[in-house]
Chains A and B, each alone.
Chain A
Amino acid sequence: MLLSVFLMLKQDQDDEWRSYQRTAFDIDASMRSQDLENLQTKQYQNEVNRLDAELAEAQSELTEAKLDDAGLFESLDSQIRLVEGLELELKFQNSDRDEARANYDLAVRDAMPDEVLRSALLAYEERQKICDDKQIVIDMEQDKLAELQTKVKQLTSRVADLEAEKTKVTAEADRVLASLENIAPSSTVSSLKRSLMELPIIDGFNSHLKVVQDWVPGLDITLGMATIARFDRCRTCHLNIDKTASGGVPAYPAGHPETEDLQDWVKAGEFPQPFSTHPNTDLYCSASSPHPVGKFGCTICHDGQGSGTSFGNAEHSPNDPQIADEWHHEYGFHPNHFWEYPMQPERFIESGCIKCHHSVQELGVHPEYGASAPKVVRGWQLIQKYGCYGCHEIHGYDGGEAIGPDLRVEPQTAEEAAAVAADPSQVAGKLRKVGPSLRHIAQKTTSEFIQYWTEIPQRYRPSTKMPQFFALHDHLPDAEASHTAGLEADELAGIATVLMTGSEEMELLVPADGYAPDVSRGETLFTERGCVACHQHSAVPESKADFGPNISDIHRKLKRNSDDPSFSDWLYTWLREPERYHTKTRMPNLYLDAYPDTDGETMIDPAADITAFLLAQGDAETFPASQYTDSELDELVVLYLSKGRFGLEAAQEIAASGNFPQARDSVIGDEIVLATEDGSPADAEAWKQMKLQYVGKKTISRYGCYACHEVPGYEDARPIGVALQDWGRKDTSKLGFEHIEEYLHHHGEPASSEFDSTHERILTARKKAKAGGLEQGQFDENEAESELSASYFFDSLQRHGRAGFLWQKLRGPRSYDYKKADTKGYADRLRMPKFPLQEDEIEAIATFVLGLVAEPPPTEYVYKPDVREKTRIEGEFLLAKYNCTGCHVVELPKITFAGDLTELESTPLTAGDHQVALEQLLKIRPPSNGRTGQTHSMELFGDKVDLDVASFHGMVTLKPDPEKEDPEFREYGFEVWEPVEFGDAEQSRLLLPGSPVTFLESQLLDYQDARGGRFAELLVDKLLSWRKVDQRKLAWQAAPPPLYQEGIKVQPDWLYSFLLEPGKIRYTTVLRMPRFNMTPQEARTLANYFAAVDGAEFPYEEQLPRDKDYLTEREQQLVSAGHMQTGQDYLGDSWALLNGPLCIKCHSVGSRKFKASDPAKDIQGPNLNEVQNRLRSDWVKLWLYRPSWITPYTSMPVNFAKNAEQFPDKFSGDPDAHVIAVRDALMNYSTLLEDVGPVVYEPPAAKGTEAAAGGED
C-alpha cells in the first residue's frame, strides 16, 4: 500500500507538464534577466551611481548634523512622545465626556426631576471643559512639534529627495527584478522555499507549479450521450499562450528555433511549442481580442481533450505522418481511436471557425482582420463554384434555428417558395443552380453535341467546371469497363433524347432586317461592352476572368441559322436578353440595344456584331453521336423495369415486344414514356425513341442532372446526395471504404503521374521525408507541401478517417466501387462524378466539410454581427455572386514605399482653393496615417540608408520606362486617392487626393493590386492603345468607375432602384451598367453595403437642402453677408446659376440639351436631373468645390475657384455662395424645373482690357 502511494507520488511528480512549467519559468527568468540587462544600461548605471554617491554624501551630512545638533533630534523624539501621550489622554477624556452627555440624554428621556437634570448637565460641562483645556495644551505642543519637524526636515530633505529620485530611476528595473526574484530567487532561503513548494503533498498548497484550468461554463461538450462542462487545461503546458507584450503583440512569438537552448530562443525572440504565444493575439486568446481564452477556452476551436494534461491525453493530431513519426519518437505519440474529437491537425485548423461563423464570409474579408481563415473560405467558395450543394444539401437550420453554414438551392417553383415562406420553422435556400438552364436547349445546340459534351466535358472545354459522370472506368475490370461503356453510350443518347424532345420553344430575337453585322467592330465591342469582365476568349488574351466560362469555343457548338451559317439568332437573343433563355442566369442584360453611329443615322447593333465576331472564329462542328446498341438499350430498359414493379421476365417481354401493358393515362413515373395512348404496341422506330427517353429519364434521375441545371419536368426533384451539414461528425463506421486500399495499391494516380499507384507515391514521399525532406533537398518546395499533404490523407484513409475518405472521394469518386462490380447491380453503383479539382482545392473543401458539425454553441458564442457588419458581410457575398468586382475597383491599390518622408510636402492650397472645402473633405474622408512606423535599409545613390516605410491607396500614373536603364530615371509615379498624413507630431505633411508621389523603382516595397476592377484596367489599357483617348485619366472616364467610397457618395435608396433597373448615368463610358437578376432584397443589401463599409449613414434620410428651415436660414445668412437683398428668391437665383453658361458646357440642364461638337471627343457629364435622388448633399458640395479631391481622374473642373469671378452679379460674385447655391439648386432640381421652369441665365461678360495672344486671328 505504502509502496503504491510512493509510486503514485513519483508518477505524479514526473508529469510532463511540470517540466514544461519549469522550462517556462526558466524562459521567463531568462527574459527578465535580459530585460534587466537592457534596462541597466551604462547610462542607467551611471545615473544610479551618481545618485548613490550623492545619497551617501547627503547621509553623511545628515549624520554630522545629527551629531552637531543632537538636542534637536532628541527634542523632536520627546516632543512626538509628548504629543502622542496627550492625544491618548484626550481620547480617554473625550469618552468620559461622551458618557456624561449620554447620562444627561437618558435623564431627559426619562423625564427626571430638574435637579437631577441640572447635576447631570453640570457633570457634562465639567467633562467638556477638561477636554477643551486638554485640546488647547495639545494644540500648543503640536505647534512646537511642527517647528521641530520643520527644522529636522530642512536637514533631512536632501536625503529624502535623492531617495525619491532613485526610486523613480530604478522603478522599472526594480519591478523586473522583483518579478525575477519571484521566479528565480537569488537568496538561498527563498530558493529553497521555492523548491520546497514543488515537493509532493506540499505542492497542494498553492505551489507555483499547478494545473491551469479554463472552465467555460457556456460551452458544454457532448461525450457519447452525456453533455458535460468543458474544462480546458491546455494552458497547463501552454503557459504563455495568451501573454502579450506592449502593443498587444505576442510576448513569446512562435517559431522553430534551431537549438534547444532556451537562451538562444530568448535571444532570437522565437519560441517553440508549448512555450510560445498564440499567433495573432489581436484576434485570439488575449483579453482584448474577440476570442479571449478565459471565455472561449481552447478546445471549442481546436478540439482535442481539454482535460488532458499530457501530450498524449490532449489528443494532439500530427499534420502529416512525418510529424507523427517525430512525435512518436519524442512523446510516444500514437493516434487514439477512442477520443471522439481529436485535435484538428494544423491543416484543418480553420474548420473550427465555422461552428460560430455561419456566414463564413467575414473570415475571408474583414476590414480589421483581413482574411483570418482563407482556407475554409476557399473551401466554401469552391463548394459554391462547383455547386456541390445541388446534390449534397448543407442545411444550416434546424427547425429555423441556425446550426451552421447554409448552402442550399433556392426554391424552384413559386409554390415551393410560398410554402417555405409560410412555414416559420423553415428558411429558404438562397443559391441558384450552378449550370445553365436546359429548358430551351434544342434551339441552342445539337443532340450530338449534348452527347459529346456530357460524356467528357473537359474534352471540349478544359476549363469547364462541369464534372465528368461517364467514362470513369479505371476501377473496373476490362470486360466490365467495356460493358459499362456500352451502357453509357445508351444513357448519353437517352439524355440527349429527353432534353431535345422536352425542350420548349422560345421566341428568338433577330437583328433589324438587312443589318450587316461587322465582325471587326464586334471584336472591339466584345471587349468594350464588358464581355471579358466575366469571360475569357482567345481573341483577348489579356483577360483572365473566370466568372463565366471561357467562350473561345462557342462557335463550334452553337446551332447556326439555317439560312445563314455565319449567324445564330439564338446567340443574338442570348446576348440581347439572357434572361429570356434562362430566367435565373448570372449573365446580366448588357443593354446591347442598337444605337446610331456618329453620323446620327446608320444604326449599329452591338449584339449582332458581337454574335458575328464570336461565330467568325470558325465553322460549326459536327460532333459524333454516341454509338449505342439496341441490345444494351434493352438491357437498361429491362434493368429499370425490373427494379420497378415488373418481374425480370415481364420486363424482358416488354422490351422485346415494344408493348407496354398499360395505356399512358394510367402510368405513373418514368414508365409513362413507354406507354402509348391506348396501350397498343408502338412501331419499331417509335419504340426505340421511347426506350431512349425512358433510359434518358432514368439516367437524369440517377445522376441528378437537375441539381445543377433547370430541366423541364424535374422542377420538384430532390437532391440525390448525402446531406453534409453534420458530415464533420459522421460516424466513420458508416463510411464505405470497401476495397479502397487495394485499389490504391495498384491505381489511383492519373496517367500523367510518374507513379503507377497512390501507394507507390506515398511510399516515395515518406522515404523522401525520412531522408530529410525539404531541408535536405529531397523535395522541391511545392512538392513537399503536396506530397506530405497526400501522405496525411493517405494515412487518414488507412485509419478509416473522414478526411482520408473525403480526399479519395473527390480524387476518384468511383474508386470505392473497386472490385464491387460483381456484387453491385449497374444501377446501384456509385454515381458521384469526378470534378476537375486540384489536390489543394480538395484540401480546402475538406477543411470546410470537416468543420460542418451542426453543433452550434450557445447563442452568445455564435458570431452575431451588428447591422453594419451584417450588411457588410451580406454585401460581400453579393459582390462575389454578381461579380461586381469584375468591373469595379472597390479598394484601390495599396502602395508601400521606402522614402525620406521629410522630403514630402503637404499639398499646397492655391489662391483658388476654399478652406471650407478642405474642412469638408477631411470631415467626410478623415486622413489615413501614411507612416507605418517601420524603417527599411537599402542602398540609394550608392549610400546605405535607413528610410521610413510608408503606404497609401492610389493609382499608378507613371511606370519605369523599360527603355531607360539608368536606375536614376526608373521611376514610379502614383496619385494618392485619399487624404493621407505622412507627417509626425511636429509637422504635418498632408497629401490630398490627386497629389503625385514619385520615387525610384527600388524604393517601391510592395504593390497590392486593387480589389476588383480587373476589367476596368484592361479596358483602360485597350482604350489607350486604340487611340480613342490619349490620357489614362480620360480612359478611366470611359471605363467602369471605381466604387471607392461609394457609400459617402450615393443615396442608398437611389442605388437600390438603380441596381434593379440601372438607368444610363454617364456619357463618357463606352459601356453601361448591366441589369442583373437581382432580388429586391439583394439590391437593398448591396445598396446599404457601400454605406456600411464607408461608415456612412444608412438608410439615408438627410435632405437638408430641401428643408424649408434650412433655406430660410441660408437666405438670412446671405442677406446679412450682403450677398442678397431681403425678399430676393434664393432658390430662383440658384436655379439661374445652375442654368448659366457653365454647367451647360458639359451637362444637359434645365431641359436644355448638351451641345455636342465631336461625339468622339466630347466630354459629356451625367444628366443633372438625377443628382437630387442619386447623390448625398454633403458629397455634392465637396464635388463642386474641388472634384479632383473625390475622383482624381475626373474632367469636371473647379468652376467656382475662391479667387474667380464667374458670375459677379449673383450673390456679389462670391464663389463660396455660388457653390452652395448650385448644390441647393441641384438638390431641388425637379421642384425648380416644375415651379420656375427652364431659364437661361446670361451673366454680364467680363470685359477684356487687352488683346489676347491670338487676337489677330
Chain B
Amino acid sequence: MLMKNAILTAVAASLSLVAATGCSEYGGGAVTVPEVTFILDASSETSGAADTGDTILPVGNLRGRVVMTNAPQLPLLVSSGAAIKDAEVCAAVDVPDERLMVGANGGVSNVFVYLPKKPKGSRPAEAAGETMIFDQKNCRFYPHTMIVPVNRTVRVLSGDAVAHNTHTYPSKNNAVNSGVAPNDREGKLEIVYGKSESVPLAVKCDYHAWMNAWHLPLDHQFGAVTSEAGEFEIADLPVGTHSFIVWHEAARGNFVERKLEVEIKEGETTELQIDFAAASLQEL
C-alpha cells in the first residue's frame, strides 16, 4: 500500500513535468529539473512502475578494466585423470581454479561491477529478455559469473553424462536445490530471481563440491561482469556521480571496492582502471 502511494505521487509529479516541458524523451535539451521526491522501496522493486516516475537524465557510458599485477598462480582445481568422483566426466579435462582468473595482460575476469540500486534519472529497464542459459560441462559451470535481471528465467542445462544438482544460496530469493539429469539439454530446471540481491550469490553442485559459480540478480541494467581481459562496459548511465560496488569472490571480504565513485558526463565514455591488489586477496 505504502509503495503504491509513493508511486502515485511520483507518477503525478512526472506527468505534470512532461506537460510543463513538452519533452517526452531523455536528452531533449536543457530542462529545469523540478524537485520530485521519489521514495524507492528497496525491498520490492519492480522497476517498471518506478521508471515512469523519475525524471530521465542525459546519459554517458563507463568502460573499465580490472587489473592485478603479480597475481598468484593457482593450481588446477582438477587435473585431467585425477582419481575423483565421476572421474570419467569430471576429470576428463583439466579444470582451472576459477576463484582467480587473471589474463596475460593482468586483466581479472569474473569481477562484478554494479550499482547497488537503480540510479535516479535512468531510463526504464528493457522488457524481460530471452531465457538465459546456465550450463555445465566436465563438472564446471558455464558461465562462472553472471548478472541475472530479476524475473528473467535462467534455464539450467547439463552436457555431462552424470547427474548434477544446482544449489543456489540467495539471501532474499527462494533457494533452489534440485537435481539436473545427465545430458539435460532441454533444461527442466528453471531459476527465476524475483528480487535484487545486494551481493552475488553462490551457486554450487553438492554432488561435486568443487563446482562453483556466482549469480547476481539485479533489478536494473547498471552492472557488468569483467571479461577474460578484465574489461567491462556499462552503458547509458545517467549523468552525475555514481558509487559502484566492485565485488570479487577472492577479494578479502569479497569487496574490491565498496564505494567506487565515478563521475559520468553527458555523451562521454568515462574510462577507468580498477587496481585489484594481489595483497588484498583472501587466503586461497
Contact = CB atoms under 8 A, between A and B. Distances in A.
Interface of A: 900, 902-903, 907-908, 910-912, 940-943, 945, 957-958, 961, 963, 968-969, 971, 973, 994-996, 998-1000, 1027, 1030-1031, 1033, 1141-1142, 1145-1146, 1155-1158, 1161-1163, 1187-1188, 1192, 1194-1201, 1203-1206, 1245-1255, 1257
B222 to A, nearest CB: 16
A996 B170 contact: yes
B163 A1206 contact: yes
A1027 B43 contact: no
Interface in B79-95: 84-86, 90, 93
A629 B133 CA distance: 89
A1206 B209 contact: no
Given A996-B174, A1195-B177, 11 more contacts: A941-B39, A971-B42, A1156-B85, A1157-B84, A1197-B167, A1197-B177, A1197-B178, A1201-B188, A1248-B183, A1250-B185, A1252-B160
5 contacts: A1141-B163, A1157-B208, A1204-B179, A1251-B159, A1252-B142
> Can you list the 10 inter-chain pairs with the closest CB atoms, starting with the nearest?
A1252-B159, A1254-B137, A1253-B142, A1197-B165, A1157-B84, A1253-B135, A1248-B183, A1252-B137, A1195-B206, A1145-B207
B179 A1200 contact: yes
B184 to A, nearest CB: 6
Given A1145-B207, A1253-B142, A903 B172 contact: no
A864 B151 CA distance: 57
Contacts of B167: 1195, 1197
A354 B198 CA distance: 54
Nearest to B165: A1197
Contact of A1247 (B157, B166, B183): B183
Contacts, number: 171
A612 B10 CA distance: 67
Interface of B: 1-3, 5-6, 39-44, 84-86, 90, 93, 116-117, 133, 135-138, 140, 142-143, 157-163, 165-167, 169-175, 177-179, 181-185, 188-190, 195, 198, 202, 204, 206-210, 258, 282-283
Contacts of B5: 943
A150 B264 CA distance: 90
Contacts of B42: 968-969, 971, 1000
Given A958-B171, A1030-B202, A1251-B159, A1257 B182 contact: no
B158 A1252 contact: yes
Given A1146-B207, A1162-B209, A1254-B140, A1201 B178 contact: yes
A999 B169 contact: no
A1183 to B, nearest CB: 13
Given A910-B190, A963-B258, A1161 B182 contact: no
Contacts of B93: 1257
Contacts of A1198: 177-179
Contacts of B117: 969
Contact of B159 (A900, A963, A1254): A1254
A656 to B, nearest CB: 75
A1156 B158 CA distance: 22
Nearest to B77: A1158
A625 to B, nearest CB: 51
A1245 B88 CA distance: 14
Contacts of A1163: 206, 209
A1201 B181 CA distance: 10
A1157 B209 contact: yes
Nearest to B284: A1027
Contacts of B90: 1157
A943 B41 CA distance: 12
A912 B143 CA distance: 23
A902 B202 contact: no
A940 B167 CA distance: 35
A114 to B, nearest CB: 99
Contacts of A1188: 175, 177
Contacts of A969: 42, 116-117, 198
Contacts of B158: 1252
A911 B188 CA distance: 8
A1031 B185 contact: no
Contacts of B182: 1245-1246
Contacts of B40: 968
A1033 B175 CA distance: 11
Nearest to A1195: B206
Given A1030-B202, A1197-B206, A998 B175 contact: no
A166 B168 CA distance: 64
B171 A998 contact: yes
A1254 B84 CA distance: 20
A1253 B137 CA distance: 7
Contacts of A1199: 165, 179
